[in-house]
Structure 1
């Protein structure tokens, strides 16, 4: 049996489709208080840029400020459905830069609106590269899609 490697276009299609099908992700950070993981709503402006909000006084934001390298997983939680993993650089954005990020987030995830009423910071994640795993289609190990900051 011959295995055919998927094209970058096929991997990109799985990445875009998985991002489009999900409103939330798992987000992991690491700061002086140690590693931390939690869930977050997100919206993608392109496959390599995700926007979200985090609590202003929370452990996630504190860790991002200390160490902006984060990890994300976009998944239903089932290994038998396609899922994405990545490292990303977190950028806290404010003022006029934050507003379109929040608008995009609310457009994709209307239920995030109550979170905007509490003290939150707006964050953009710049994904370095995606690792797309699709066990059903034989992508184990997962296939990589480099981001624009990695020289695609």
Structure 2
């Protein structure tokens, strides 16, 4: 295995571990009302696909509908602990995907279940690239992870 393959594998493992260790993230959007950041619960479908729900009449969902390109941060809030940053494309989903989103979200974050009783919409995020910053591993600047073809 080459150094590059080892590094990609190591970075991917760190991204997966960080995602698994967190139930919530900050989601940044930009619509007609300008930029907006909100906290949301999320679950992973795979390393590059996250799912969540948004309030049907909320500012975040309105911005996603206007501009589906979003940014996100998965972090404890401490720069001394590993954290993730990413760009993604958000898609409001219905039907089978709506049910999958709700099921996966509650499986990871049981405390999110009460939100499902409110008017919400299921959203799938397709992450275009991850950046992980991990000071204990010496990853400053952070390491990039993009999907393989």
Q: Look up the SS of the partner of 2:25 in the other structure.
A: strand
Corresponding residue for residue 143 of structure 1? 143
Q: Check the 8 A contact 1:130/1:147 in 2, yes or no.
A: no
Aligned residue for 1:14? 14
Q: Give the deviation of 1:102 after TM superposition.
A: 1.0
Deviation at 1:95, TM superposition (A): 1.6
Query: 1:75 & 1:23 partners in 2: Cα distance?
Result: 10
TM-score, normalized by length of structure 2? 0.95
After superposition, the C-alpha distances for 1:74-133 in whole angstroms (9 at most, x for unaligned) are 000000000000000000001222101110000000000010000000000000010010
Aligned to 2:45: 45
Partner of 1:29: 29
Residue 22 of structure 1 and its aligned partner are, at CA, apart by 0.2
1:120 aligns with 2:128: no
- Measure how far apart 1:147 and its partner are: 2.2
Does the residue aligned with 1:57 lie in a helix, a strand or coil? coil
Unaligned stretches of 5+ residues in structure 2 = none
CA distance in 2, matches of 1:147, 1:54: 26
Q: 1:80 corresponds to which residue?
A: 80
Whole-angstrom CA distance in 2 between matches of 1:104 and 1:55: 18
Partner of 2:67: 67
Write out the 4+ residue segments of structure 1 that deviate beyond 6 Å after TM superposition. none
The answer (yes or no) to whether the contact 1:12–1:145 under 8 Å persists in 2 is yes
